Amino acid sequence: MDLRLGRHTFGPDQTLMMAIVNRTRDSFFDQGATYDEGPARERVRQVVEDGAEIVDIGGVRAGYGEVVDAAEEIRRVVPFVAWVREHHPGVVISVDTWRSEVAREVCAAGADLVNDAWGGHDPALVEVAAEFGAGIVCTHTGGLPPRTDPYRVEYDDVVAAAIAETTSLAERALAAGVPRESIVIDPAHDFGKNTFHSLEITRRLGEMVATGWPVLVSLSNKDFVGETLGAPPQERLTGTLAATSVCALAGARIYRVHQVRETRATVDMVWSIAGRRPPLRAIRALQ
């Protein structure tokens, strides 16, 4: 199935790099490096040069941190979305928000995709996406409210729970008027999960791919990688790429990442091994 994100369409064999651009002072990985306008613009320029098809702009840290109300979130992201739309017309603009009032403003400014990282907490979000012809990401958070860390969460079967929640949200988006080819599901590693849950989601990601909905994975430098390897955020790239390889072999379509070039090379290699992508050059033993 083709994937249509706002004004952009991608074929069924294309994988997409979604580069993270945080407009926050307290992001866990870059510690606010792109909070200011200048560094954020340079980050977009660099990731586009590195081959990112999507930039995912967020104005609120996912976990605990400073209080950011809707007005402040809008201030952080809406003018920036408009700038990216003007200066990088070929890139898909995604905004990471759970608030429909923020989604309305960013879509009006030119966003193509609403990344609802908190699993339908605001039910009006899908209506905004439908109204503006934007895509939407439907995530599994186990019912946690926004910015809540999981504590002693339990599932009979975490993969079955992730499939049930994300596909239900996808069907709701479809009923609201979002086209099927504009709906993506995300198991949301770490969100509403402990490390064992995230490892199992990774191992069994093929079950989510088998639903037929395009799958996004957000693995980049996350805690499940750090806890598995005993590594701080800045030393998790190798573990992230290992998890990425497993998800790529299973058929994930979109990869939300900090390091674009490394992830692109990893995914391309795995998709070629899987027979979904031809090598760029194949002359060995042929000439």
* Fold (topology level) of 3-273: TIM Barrel (3.20.20)
User: Given the structure tokens 């058929």, which residue do they identify?
Assistant: 251
pTM for the model: 0.96
Nearest-angstrom CA–CA distance, 229 and 240: 10
What does each C-alpha distance from 58 to 21, 55, 150, 198 come to in angstroms?
Answer: 7, 10, 21, 22
How high does pLDDT run on average in the chain? Answer: 96
> What's the pLDDT tens digit per position in 223-279?
999 999 999 999 999 999 999 999 999 999 999 999 999 999 999 999 999 999 999
Q: Facing residues of 92 across strands? A: 54
Q: For residue 169, what are its two tokens?
A: 């949200």
The residue type found at 108 is A
Q: Which residue has the tokens 């967020």?
A: 58
74-127 pLDDT, tens digit each: 999 999 999 999 999 999 999 999 999 999 999 999 999 999 999 889 999 999
Quote the CA–CA distance of 275 and 7 in Å, as a whole number: 29
- Residue 133: left if φ>0, alpha if ψ -120 to 50, beta else—which one? left
Catalytic residues: 222, 256
**Position 101: which residue type?**
E
Short-list 167, 117, 109, CA closest to 134: 109
* Long-range CB contact pairs, 267-273, < 8 A, 24+: 267/15, 267/17, 268/15, 270/244, 270/245, 271/13, 271/15, 273/249
Tokens at 87, concatenated: 């200066």
Identify the pLDDT of residue 206: 98
Provide mean pLDDT across the span 44-49: 98
CA-nearest of 138, 131, 140, 141 to 106 is 131
